[in-house]
Chain A
Amino acid sequence: QKEVEQDPGPLSVPEGAIVSLNCTYSNSAFQYFMWYRQYSRKGPELLMYTYSSGNKEDGRFTAQVDKSSKYISLFIRDSQPSDSATYLCAMSAGATNKLIFGTGTLLAVQP
C-alpha cells in the first residue's frame, strides 16, 4: 500500500465548474499538507499549504484536511481553462520537510 493515494484521473470539467481533488494517506505522523500544481514540462508550483486539520481558503482555492479520516481535499471554484494542469498532493511529518507525493491528478477544464 502506498503512503499517499491519489486518483490519477484524467478529470475533465466544463469551465465554471467546481472541481474536487482528493488524496488519502496511511501515515498518521503527517502533519503538513500541501497541494502543488504542475503544468506540462514545468516544475511543481506550491498552491496551498495547511498545517494539521482544518480548512484554508485562498481565492478560488480551498484546502481541507481531515486527519481523523486521513483524507485531504482541494476545491477549485469557478474553474478556468488556465487551471488545466496536474495537481499533486504532498505531505510530510515535519522533521526534515521530506515530502511524500501522490501520483497527481490530471485536470482539463474545457472552455
Chain B
Amino acid sequence: NAGVMQNPRHLVRRRGQEARLRCSPMKGHSHVYWYRQLPEEGLKFMVYLQKENIIDESGMPKERFSAEFPKEGPSILRIQQVVRGDSAAYFCASSPDIRTGELFFGEGSRLTVL
C-alpha cells in the first residue's frame, strides 16, 4: 500500500512566479491536510480538505495561497507570486477517518524562492 505521495520533492522558483505542489493521499483516505514547516519551527497547519470541499482553511495566508482536492486527481497547493518568505517544506498528510486523530505524512515538497 503506497504511502502519501508528494511531488515535486524539490522546487525552485524566482520571486513572482507560481508554485504548484501536488499530493496523492493513501488509498482509501479521503481527508487531506497541508502543513508548512519553516526552519527551526514546528509544523503549522494550513488547510484541511475532503473531496471537492475545503473544510478548514484557518491556517492559510489570506492572499496568494489556495488549495483544492478535486473529485479526480491529486490535491494541489498553489502559491501565486511567491516571495522569499514562502521558502519552506510543505507536507501533505492524509487520514482515513477524522475520528481517529491519526495523520500519515508524505515526504514533503521543499520550495526555495530565489
Query: Do the two chains belong together in a single complex?
Result: yes
Chain A proximity of B67: nearest CB distance (Å): 14
Q: What's the interface size class on A, roughly?
A: 20 to 34
A88 and B42: CB pair below 8 A?
Answer: yes
- How many A-B residue pairs lie within 8 Å, measured between CB atoms? 68
B98 and A102: CB pair below 8 A?
Answer: no
Chain B proximity of A67: nearest CB distance (Å): 15
Contacts of B105 in A (CB 8 A): 36, 43-46
- Indicate if B108 sits at the interface (CB-CB under 8 A): yes
- Indicate if A75 sits at the interface (CB-CB under 8 A): no
Task: Name the interface residues of A52-91: CB closer than 8 Å to any CB of B.
Answer: 88, 90
Contacts of A42 in B (CB 8 A): 107-108
Residues of B within 8 A of A (CB): 4, 31, 33, 35, 40-45, 48, 55-56, 91, 95, 98-108, 110
A to B CB contacts below 8 Å, 14 in the list: A42-B108, A43-B91, A43-B105, A43-B108, A44-B105, A46-B102, A46-B105, A49-B102, A96-B48, A98-B45, A99-B101, A101-B44, A102-B42, A103-B40
